[in-house]
Amino acid sequence: MASRPELKLDDEGGFIRFFKSLPTDNDDTIRIFDRGDWYTSHGEDAMFIAKTVYKTTSVVRQLGRNDHTGLPSVTMTMTVFRQFLREALLKLGKRIEIWQSASGRMNWKCVKQASPGNLQDVEDDLGGQIESAPMILAVKISAKASEARNIGVCFADASVRELGVSEFLDNDLYSNFEALLIQLGVRECLVQVDKSEKEKDPELAKLKKIIDNCGVAIAERPAGDFGTRDIEQDLARLLKDERSATLLPQTDLKLAMGSAASLIKYLGVLQDPSNFGQYQLYQHDLAQFMKLDAAALKALNLMPGPRDGSKTMSVYGVLNHCKTPQEIEKRQQLVEAFYVDTELRQTLQEEHLRSIPDLYRLSKRFQRGKANLEDVVRAYQVVIRLPGFIGTFEGVMDEKLQGSSRRGLHNQAS
């Protein structure tokens, strides 16, 4: 591990007063301060990073003149910062705030926020370490004594700009909701915050317990975020479909629309004009997929745990030998051809797919105006390989499969 930067600030007292004036966050949020070429963290967050990354508290230094009025602090290089970011978001279920001071000594502002289900702000820092799409879900329930429990959900994969909604009845154990969390591989779930400590909703508490048992991070949001007053207007701005949002059949799902309103606000997608007219909305049918609860998922060892050292300790690890993480569904359509023709499979794996980057994330860098020369070169390298892809498929597949693969390649090129 590279040597740690020395902690030297021009105005120690001013920073300590500023830090202690910040509102108290919950235990799941870590604040990190960007110092340019290095990073710092302070207080309880510094102790957590010291134990998580450095495995010792001896790296913690006191910022200030003495232990009583000082501030425990730890420094990180760029490499260590990115290592901690991956650990905290992808394995530990923490939330991250990154603060910067653009001008002036104490002009600190929170410029980036990330959570297990919302990695948009830190995608560049995580690089290619995101093996699966970070799915985030919001849920709203209606549970009355004389009626069955009605659940409305909205979930999103911001990396591919898709919104899914579903509304269904459930039992008192919320078995259908638990199965939905497993089906989608949800990383983070938004729920309504209780009205007060004295008026805790027992149904909401039961829901939170199920979410926690599934290993999903919980984010509590105010009830006002689940209001549907502006949802049709918001969807009209986000969706590709040129029809009025009022004509979409999904807007009849009132609970799901409340969840959609909360999710859209939490992700902040309306603040980025590049998202307008780019999202797709679809309705998820719970009955079309196998239902598993959290206990069955763990017993079958289907997915790797956060602390699994070997890639072969789960069914996913044994079967996951794809060269790139994106477009898994389209690749599955070509499984038969790859299985029959060994030469085709080996040629694609070794000569072509190995050098293909994540095109979704690469395209988002261009859309946001953050692409650099390296990104341009990577896009160029993909384009010049397309004739090789098409040539590899020539003469080895029937017309149906050949047409499917060609359409996919031409769509990527355009």
Collect all residues with Cβ–Cβ distance below 8 Å to 205 and sequence separation of at least 6.
none
Mean pLDDT of 27-47: 91
- Distance in angstroms (rounded) separating the CA atoms of residues 342 and 141: 51
pLDDT for the residue 48: 95
CATH class for the domain made up of 12-117:
alpha beta
**CATH fold of 135-288, please?**
Nucleotidyltransferase; domain 5 (3.30.420)
Would you say residue 227 has pLDDT above 60? yes
Calculate mean pLDDT across residues 152-168. Answer: 88
Confidence of residue 405 (pLDDT cuts 50, 70, 90): low
Tokens of 343: 């030469």
The predicted pLDDT at position 323 comes to: 61
**Is a pLDDT exceeding 80 seen at residue 9?**
no
Model confidence band, residue 162 (pLDDT cutoffs 50, 70, 90): confident
Average pLDDT score over residue span 219-229: 91
Q: Could you state, in order of their start, the residue ranges of all structural domains in the chain?
A: 12-117, 135-288, 322-413
What's residue 210's pLDDT? 93
Per-residue pLDDT reduced to its tens digit, 352-381: 887 788 787 788 778 777 788 888 998 998
Of 54, 60, 76, 63, the residue nearest 20 (C-alpha)? 63
pLDDT score, position 250: 79
Encode pLDDT of 101-154 as tens digits: 877 567 889 999 999 988 888 887 886 556 666 889 999 998 876 677 899 999
pLDDT in tens, 311-323: 677 877 777 776 6
- Contact between residue 86 and residue 126 where contact means Cβ atoms under 8 Å apart: yes
Average pLDDT over residues 230-243: 83
- Fold of the domain spanning 322-413: MutS, DNA mismatch repair protein; Chain A, domain 3 (1.10.1420)
Q: What is the pLDDT of residue 85?
A: 93
Do strands 135-142 and 186-192 pair parallel, antiparallel, or not at all (unpaired)? Answer: parallel
Per-residue pLDDT, 25: 72
Q: Give whichever of 71-85, 316-330, 331-345 has the largest mean pLDDT.
A: 71-85
Say what the pLDDT of residue 330 is. Answer: 59
Give the Cα separation of 339 and 399 in Å (integer): 17
DSSP, res 152:
E
Q: How far apart are CA 319 and CA 368, in angstroms?
A: 35
Say if strands 61-63 and 186-192 run parallel, antiparallel, or are unpaired. unpaired
166 strand-pairing partners: 153
Whole-angstrom distance, CA of residue 53 vs CA of residue 87: 9
In this structure, of 6-20, 293-307, 337-351, 370-384, the range with the lowest mean pLDDT score is 293-307
pLDDT for 59 beyond 70: yes
Per-chain mean pLDDT for the chain: 81
User: Is 159 in contact with 360 (CB distance < 8 Å)?
Assistant: yes
